[in-house]
Chains A and B, each alone.
Chain A
Amino acid sequence: MAYELVVIGTSWGGLHALRKVLSGLPAGFDLPVVVVQHRHRDSDHLLVSLLQDHTPLRVCEVEDKSELAPGDVYVAPAEYHVLVEPGHLSLSTEEPIRFSRPSIDVTFESAADAYGARTIGIVMTGANDDGARGLRRIADRGGAAIVQDPSTAESAVMPTAALRMVPEAKVAKVEEIGKLIARLQARQKAAKRPALASEPSRGKPAAGGDGAPPRETR
């Protein structure tokens, strides 16, 4: 089974880190990328254009029920939670979760539930612990967990919290995260090539038998 979705969460210092990750993605990158960056409500369009300047991928702000298309970058709007559904994104104005809206945990947990082991979750620089629980869930569902090396993060709180919850996560500097994603994809493609015909199609919710490792109850 191939990866089908990348979710990235960050807050303080995130703009710089996001630019580096996006510009480090390989040419022809073909997974949808959902970005949750905490920020002020008036900065929506600015963030999209600041990211667009650094990548050939199309960057857009999430609208309700946006279709997930390969190689597009979806930025969570300020003041809304973004929930991942099979094949598209929904918005919600529910209360902030641990003071955050958008909440990285909300997006990551819904991604884990909708895409299971087909998810790559990345937590980067930030000044609170949002994202740690969501990344745990992605890892538990068999997805790939990546955390920015806290010693290179503008604010180490968020990546440190994520590593505490997901100690087995891969640790990388921002410059290397793009390459790491490419390597994960390549490894999977190599391993799965003979079994391509039996891949489940996207658009179906992740099932129990989706190739995730055996799950434990807490």
Chain B
Amino acid sequence: MHKVAQPPLAYDTQLEQLEIELLLEAIFRHYGFDFRSYAFSSIRRRIWKRISAEGLPNVTSLQERVLHDPQVMERLLLDLSINVTAMFRDPGFYRAFREQVIPLLRTYPFIRVWHAGCSTGEEVYSMAILLEEEGLLQRSRLYATDINEVVLQQARAGIFPLERMQEYTENYIKAGGKRAFSEYYVAKYDGALFNPSLTEHVVFSQHNLVTDRSFSEFNVILCRNVLIYFDRSLQTRVHRLFYDSLVNFGILGLGSKESLRFSQYEDCYEQIASEKIYRKVR
């Protein structure tokens, strides 16, 4: 049994890299999921997690299993997609958005927001709440996309774990929330069911940042802690997609430790808050 979530030390790292590249190529050609330009060290950890869990000795043996057993592919897919999120994650971001972006959005008759890589939707509901409190939700449309249909179903359901409501309430207050957070949900079974009126202006749909094109023009694009899993070449491609999808003076919001610095698009934006909020200026 291989208990280690690690390659054995006898493993030649160049050989291992070759095997991982072949595995990702095989997954792309057979199943259409394109992980070939994901950040290597992170995807490598997650591949080894699956190799260990399946009791296999090496990457090549996982490739054999993945190609001949779609259920192994399903399990690997769950390992490869990271769905860690929270409502009003990094409250400072939402506070800055409220203070510095909302005044700009008020000048538009209609506001289109793209939330790329929305996972289970916690941050989409957060933005809907914020827009609602600022009186802008009625003239907004939020397009919330993710590569993974399973998480989108959870997002549509709008039920989040009850035990996280205390954390989310604290985040909401720090983010400058104007009401009692509990006004937005009712406790139901083990979950907090969020007011369905919040999603009347949300469209959840599948979209793959790696392979799909732009589908509209937006005033705001939010993509937080998604690009960190991509390598630089793919990050640049996705930044081109965002740039092409934003109106002039449109807003781009990134994760708090993400940067445009390495993307070749840094000069096209100006940062308008201490948080990672940028405005397209050329």
Contacts and interface: CB of A to CB of B under 8 A. Distances in A.
Interface of A: 61-65, 67, 77, 80, 83-85, 90-95, 106, 109-110, 113-114, 116, 137, 140-141, 205-208, 215-218
Given A109-B6, A217-B9, A218-B9, A63 B39 contact: no
A95 B257 CA distance: 17
Given A77-B256, A90-B228, A141-B9, 9 more contacts: A62-B257, A67-B262, A92-B42, A94-B84, A106-B45, A116-B13, A137-B6, A208-B13, A218-B9
Contacts of A106: 45
Contacts of A113: 13, 41, 44
Contact of B84 (A61, A85, A93, A205): A93
Contact of A65 (B9, B84, B225, B235): B235
Nearest to B49: A94
Contact of A92 (B82, B232, B259): B82
B154 interface: no
A215 B15 CA distance: 15
Given A64-B259, A80-B257, A114-B41, A218 B84 contact: no
26 contacts: A61-B257, A62-B257, A63-B258, A64-B255, A64-B257, A64-B259, A65-B235, A65-B259, A65-B262, A83-B42, A90-B39, A90-B228, A91-B228, A92-B39, A92-B42, A92-B82, A93-B82, A94-B84, A95-B84, A109-B45, A110-B41, A140-B9, A207-B13, A207-B14, A208-B14, A216-B10
Sort chain B's interface into a size bin. 20 to 34
A149 to B, nearest CB: 28
Contacts of B10: 215-217
A80 B15 CA distance: 29
Interface in B6-42: 6, 8-10, 12-15, 17, 39-42
B179 interface: no
Contact of A85 (B41, B45, B225, B235): B41
B194 interface: no
Contacts of A218: 4, 8-9
A206 B258 contact: no
Contacts of A109: 6, 45
Interface of B: 4, 6, 8-10, 12-15, 17, 39-42, 44-46, 82, 84, 225, 227-229, 232, 235, 255-259, 261-262
The 7 closest A-B CB pairs, nearest first, are: A208-B12, A83-B41, A215-B9, A110-B41, A90-B39, A64-B228, A93-B84
Q: Most chain-A Cβ atoms within 10 A of its Cβ — which of B15, B41, B259?
A: B41
Q: Most chain-A Cβ atoms within 10 A of its Cβ — which of B9, B40, B229?
A: B9
Contacts of A63: 257-259, 261
Given A205-B17, A216-B9, A91 B257 contact: yes
B13 A205 contact: yes
Contacts of A140: 9
Contacts of B46: 94
B227 A64 contact: yes
Contacts of B232: 65
Contact of A206 (B8, B13, B227): B13
Contacts of A90: 39, 41-42, 228
Contacts of B6: 109, 137
A207 B18 CA distance: 12
B242 to A, nearest CB: 15
Contacts of B41: 83-85, 90, 110, 113-114
Contacts of A93: 82, 84, 225, 228
A109 B4 CA distance: 13
Nearest to B7: A113
Contacts of B262: 65, 67
A34 B39 CA distance: 18
Given A63-B261, A64-B227, A94 B8 contact: no
A80 B42 CA distance: 12
A64 B257 CA distance: 6
Contacts of A84: 41
Contacts of A114: 41
Contacts of A67: 262
Contacts of A116: 13
